[in-house]
Amino acid sequence: MIQSATAGLSRNEGLKQGSPMLFGTIAQALADSSTDRFSDDDYEFLKFHGIYQQDDRDQRKIAKHYMLMVRTRFPGGVLSGSQYVACDDLATRYGNNTLRITTRQDFQFHGVLKSNLRQTMKALNDALMTTIAACGDVARNVLATPTPATSPLVEEVLARAADLSRLLAPKTPAYHSIWIEGKELDLEAAKGFVDPLYGQNYLPRKFKVAFAIPPLNDIDIFTNDLGFVVIEQNGKIVGYNLLAGGGLGMSHNNPSTYPRLAHLVGFFEPPHLEAVARAVLTIHRDYGDRTNRKHARLKYVIAERGVEWFRQELEKRLGFALQPARPFQFTRQGDLLGWHQQLDGNWFLGLFIENGRVRDAEDYRLKTGLRAAIERYLPEVRLTASQNLLLVNVKPEDREGIDRILMDHGVRTNNPYSLTRLASMACPALPTCGLALAESERALPGILDSLEGLLTELGLAEQELIVRMTGCPNGCSRPYTAELAFVGKAPNKYQIYTGGNEASTRLNRLYKDSVKGDELLGELRTLLVRFKAERQPGERFGDFCHRVIWSETAPAAH
């Protein structure tokens, strides 16, 4: 058993100190068939390997049924057609027969049993995929704009995201030893291991990195610890504006925790990209709070020490000064859906995936249809930060065949849904997430049914409302930048937030606290009736709430 944390430090810090290779007793637990779960200590180590131990909360009254969630790491959300087919196989064979697209452009496999875990991990590796650092106190998956035709710079930015992903990955040999070779590590040799970037203790908490190309903010770049805004001139990347200190997680009734948007720090040229990323990460490593994990994100370091302190510390580590930030503007978020032509003459198809869940349901056999189309034509697959899926680099002559296969499975490539539904997201929440306080993924479709009916009744059916729902305040579906958000407070009780904007550059604010699920529509009716009566010409719902409602009800944001 690894010892608990040193006095004053959190328990997790002691675990990392005691096992700097991040192996714990995972290998021994895998060999033990007498139990279906890992120890509480190994639960923490598994995260670094891209795995969360969960249980089916629908079954808790009977008994705890343990299972694992496995999360991939796809920089920019990019995977090949053959890799998609391999993921589909694993979801069928070892998971719950669904694939879950995350808001960080990954896949999650839910329902994997401990007895099948190593086979799942090895199969991913065999298909040249990895899960390391998809979770844990390290840099998570690097986000980047995935959509062809939005900018001629997309492919170059995706390549930079892949470069950074490799740079920021932990170097422990434990991952390969446990999951690929199936061996226990030499404990004596492991004692002296120090990761060259993270050190012995890794980071105080997770660290999120993203790229965006204005004017499209399709990855909510201000919500990341570290953001790179692409600055282009004459069709070339001349540098990046640096954003730092974003993050949305918070805790109910704890005012020392709060969502915060990243601050614009300055500009630098392309050759310095990796050095800047490394320097920002090590500031978090060296100054983040290791005594309180709820206060351990980079956003609190910058909020409390100040942006000027952060800039000076960064420039000291870099050995050069940042330039003043270059002008840029984001105008919208979201994905291009349907068929669109790429700059190279090929085509891509954007498919709306409700709440990111790729599954079959009665006459809508999305999982089977996608598998058939991708297996037949092998397009590149890209996952978006809005939980949608793109089929990329489709030859013109293959469009009709893809359409036909999907239509045969009840999937229409024109995405025939309301604008509001197309702009919606939810986290998984119950029954798999141990942090969930209320329903999210299972509740949002019904809430949207009612909301769409209300919008139609009020003559607002053509309005797009960016709606997001989460089962707890940690904000995995990025609710705090939405025009309208529901945040789980307790079983069947939600907070309502309003006032985000179309470009995802503004935090919303708390409108109502502890609203029962069956009372949400009544609260929305009051808001929307007022919106229809008092809105300015062309004004969006979020901008109306920002202009009118905030001035009456909401406290200041961070």
Q: Which residues are catalytically annotated?
A: 71, 140, 206, 208, 427, 433, 472, 476
User: How many CA atoms, within 13 angstroms, populate the side-chain half-sphere of residue 244?
Assistant: 28
314 C-beta neighbours (distance < 10 Å), count: 21
Sign of the torsion angle spanned by Cα atoms 286, 558, 502, 480: positive
Residue 215 amino acid letter? P
Long-range contacts of range 321-327, CB-CB < 8 Å, 24 or more positions apart? 322/242, 322/265, 322/266, 322/267, 322/268, 323/239, 323/266, 323/267, 323/268, 324/266, 324/267, 325/241, 325/242, 325/264, 325/265, 325/266, 325/267, 326/231, 326/239, 326/241, 326/267
DSSP-assigned letters across all residues of 234-275:
TTEEEEEEEEE--B----TT-TT---BPPEEEEEE-GGGHHH
200 C-beta neighbours (distance < 10 Å), count: 12
User: Phi-psi category of 425—alpha, beta or left, where left has phi over 0 and alpha has psi -120 to 50?
Assistant: beta
Instruction: Determine the 3-state secondary structure of 388 from DSSP.
Output: coil
Contact (CB, 8 A) for 220 and 248: no
Residues 6+ positions from 183 with CB-CB distance below 8 Å: 27, 177
Return the H-helix or E-strand segment holding 20. Answer: none
CA angle 238, 314, 276 (to 5 degrees): 40
Q: Whole-angstrom distance between the N-terminal and C-terminal Cα of the chain?
A: 41
| 3-state helix, strand and coil shares in percent for the chain, rounded to the nearest 5 | 35, 20, 45
Contact (CB, 8 A) for 133 and 171: no
- DSSP at 77: G
Contact (CB, 8 A) for 142 and 219: no
- DSSP at 466: -
Cα–Cα distance, 370 to 464 (Å, whole number): 27
